[in-house]
Structure formats: structure tokens, C-alpha cells
Chain A
Amino acid sequence: MGKPKIATASLAGCFGCHMSLLDIDDRILKLVELVDFDKSPIDDIKKFSGRCLVGLIEGGCANEENVHNLKEFRKHCDILISVGDCAINGGLPAMRNVMPLKECLDEAYLNGPTVYNPEGIVPSDKELPLLLDKVYPCHHVVKIDYYLPGCPPSADTLWEALVALLNNKPLELPYELIKYD
């Protein structure tokens, strides 16, 4: 039997949680011994090659592509983890949740104080995924098994969590590692 596989994705996030994963420093060598990376920006594999033990999701769902991606992860991963505040509560992108989508687009592309857009075009190319009415935390869209809060969760938090899960141990974070910022 081969090594268990991990997949990761950044949806409506800033890649900060992925940076934090890289912050585990030399432990990454140990991680590579423990697991193989499947679909992930880290190895640039675009498509799932098979079933994964763990999926790490950074960011919430702001558009239809995020939803599609998240659902693919749910289908391919035994354990799906919301990593970071954006995955858990929408984070910064979810600040738009208090206003209608139209108002948000108008502010961003037409009316905002720093906007320069003489043609008055709101981007709507058909290659662009359609935005959702609001930014959805991942567990509003699919079932999520574990949550690792933080903006980003620290490298130690991610390491502790991965090691626990890979060793089939319960995920119990010590006080210092539970942070929402």
C-alpha cells in the first residue's frame, strides 16, 4: 500500500494558509515521507489522480468555480478540513455579504472612490466564473470534518493536525494553537 495522499486547494483565499503550510520548515521533509501530494497548488497537479485521505481547503466559496472545486474535493477526500478563517467563516471576502452583489460590483468597478474606469465596464467575460450572491463558508456547501481556524493557522497548528490525523489520533489542539487571527 502506498503512502496516504493529501490534496489542497485555495478557493476564495489569499494563499496565506498555503504559505503557513510551507512554514513548517524542515518538517516538510518528514511530511513528504509520510504522504504524497495529489491535486494541489504546491505540486501543480490539476486533477485528482485518485482517492485522497486528507483534503485541505483554504478560502470560502465566492463563485461557482469555488463550489465546483470544493465539491470535487468532497468527493475525492476521506477527510475534508476547512483550513483558516476564510474557509470557516468566509473571512475578508465575506465582508461583502452584508450587501447585494450588484451594489458590491458597482462599488468595486464603478463608484468606488479610487476607481478609474472611463468605459464603465463591469467585467463579465464568459471565462469568468459567476459570483455567488455571497461568500459561503465551506461547511455551508459541503460536509466538513475538521476545522483549523486562524488567519492563517500557524505552521504548528497545521503540523499537529496532520500528524494526528495521519496517525489516526483524535485532533485535540492545545490552547496556544487555537487562534482566530
Chain B
Amino acid sequence: MSEKTLTIKIDGAEVKAKAGQTILEAAEEAGIYIPRLCYLKELSPHGSCRVCLVKVGGKFQTACTEPVVDGAEIENNTDEIKQIRRDIVDMLFVEGNHFCMFCEKSGNCELQAVAYRLGILAPKYPYLFPDAEIDGSHPDIFIDKNRCILCGRCVQASKDLDGKGVFEFVGRGPEKKLAVNAEAKLSDTNMDVVDKATDICPVGAIIKKRIGFATPVGQRTYDEKPIGSDIEQKKS
């Protein structure tokens, strides 16, 4: 990949970028946080959650998949984009059963943190209260599909980082669900607690057993500082 430097504008501010980078990567290097959920640096971008939606030359694109083009003008923090992001996060909350008050991931949950950052006090859509499976069969790992946001991180991580392929999606539309590479249970797969796929769930759908609530409230990842603060610190 050439190291040619390009210049793009994000909300009017000039940002240097390298050819081959995505908008999200270029923004991140420049200390601009673009909210995201399915994206993870180690994985190829999925573009499914749609939270990182930006407007490029008047067209909506996901920043995690859209390559930078020299001179591109990108809208990131406009009222329109913020509203769409809030709507999408609202949808994720109502299509699952996200009961933060008893979720071990609370305080370290990316869905929750993005919602905090977007200032969401309650979703604008009615809750759907779906019936979802819980799989506690594995000795060290617990799966709660009530909390799954179908981001695909575990699917990819297990395939590409762990070389295992423990997860896939089954069904389609609102019936789409996470499934494991066995007739039914996670304990029948070769999933291991040290696998990358155990660690990368943005929400509390895949969690390690026996370590919950270890960090006191107040010291958890997003208790004090909003998600994305680390990226924004780069800007000086």
C-alpha cells in the first residue's frame, strides 16, 4: 500500500490520511472519535451495526468500511448523523433484553457506553422483549443471547484470530441469531477461555465465568470518562 498522504475534511477540519486507510482509521489517528460497535481493530471491518455512519459527499457510508479519498468532505458530528446514531443504538436496545442493572458487563459495556456518550436516557422505540437463549454449558464461558447485538466480532475472531470457527449466524432478519459449531451447546465446541473470541464481545453476551463484578463501581472502564476519550486524547 502506498504511503501517499491524502487530505480529507471531517466536519470542516482538515485531517491527514494515508491511502488505503478507512475514514474511521484516519479520524482515529487524528484524534477524532467516531462512535462504533461492530468494528474492532484486529478484525476486518463488518459494517453491520451502522453506528459509525458518516456522510461522505452527501452519501451515507460506514466510516469503518469506507476508504479515504483525497479531498473527501465528511460529516461526522452533525445533528442529522447524531440523530441516526441515536436511533440505531435505540434499536439495538429494544430488539434485545438489555438489563444493565444485573449485567456483569455494565460499566465496561460498549453498547451502554456509546448510549451514554450519545446522551440517551431511554430508547424512543418500544421494547420488543424477545425470547433469547442462554448457554451456560461451558465450564468457563457464559453466553447470554439476550444481550447479543449481532456485531459478528466473535464469529470473525474465532475464525480469523483463533483459527476455530466456533460461531456463525443462523436464521435471517429478526430471527437472526448467534449459533455455535455444535448441535446445541458451547461446551460441545473447542472454545477455550483463552480464545480471543471470549474477550471481544462489546456487550455482555459472551462473558467469562467467576470474574464478574470484580471492579468496583466507579472504577470501571466507562464510569468516569466517555468511550472514545482515549482516542480524543491523541488530539493535542
Contacts and interface: CB of A to CB of B under 8 A. Distances in A.
Decide if A and B touch, CB cutoff 8 A. yes
Interface of A: 82, 85, 88-92, 94-95, 97-99, 134, 137, 139-140, 144, 146-149, 151, 173, 175-176, 178-181
Interface in B83-136: 93, 97-103, 106-107, 112, 115-117, 119-122, 126-127, 129-132
9 contacts: A89-B98, A92-B102, A97-B129, A99-B131, A140-B126, A140-B127, A148-B121, A149-B122, A180-B115
Main secondary structure of the interface of B (DSSP, over half): loop
A178 B119 contact: yes
A94 B121 contact: no
Given A85-B100, A151-B100, A151-B101, A181 B106 contact: yes
9 closest residue pairs by CB, A with B: A151-B101, A180-B100, A147-B122, A147-B121, A97-B129, A181-B106, A98-B131, A181-B100, A88-B122
B212 interface: no
Nearest to B122: A147
Contact of A85 (B99, B117, B131, B226): B99
Interface string B207-233: 000000000010000001010000000
Contacts of B130: 98
A82 B101 contact: no
A87 B182 CA distance: 39
A85 B129 contact: no
Contact of A180 (B106, B131, B132, B226): B106
B10 to A, nearest CB: 22
Contacts of B129: 90, 94, 97-98, 134
Contacts of A147: 121-122
A98 B127 CA distance: 12
A59 B112 CA distance: 21
Given A85-B100, A89-B127, A178 B122 contact: no
Contact of B121 (A99, A137, A146, A181): A146
A151 B120 CA distance: 15
A73 to B, nearest CB: 17
Contacts of B106: 180-181
B206 to A, nearest CB: 19
Nearest to B105: A181
Contacts of A140: 126-127
Contacts of A92: 99, 101-102
B5 to A, nearest CB: 35
Nearest to A84: B101
B127 A175 contact: no
Nearest to B107: A181
B79 to A, nearest CB: 16
Nearest to B129: A97
B99 A89 contact: yes
Contacts of B217: 181
Most buried by A among B97, B103, B117, B146: B97
A94 B116 contact: no
A88 B122 CA distance: 7
B127 A137 contact: yes
Given A90-B127, A148-B121, A98 B99 contact: no
B122 A181 contact: no
Contacts of A148: 121
Nearest to A175: B226
Interface string B165-208: 00000000000000000000000000000000000000000000
Nearest to A153: B121
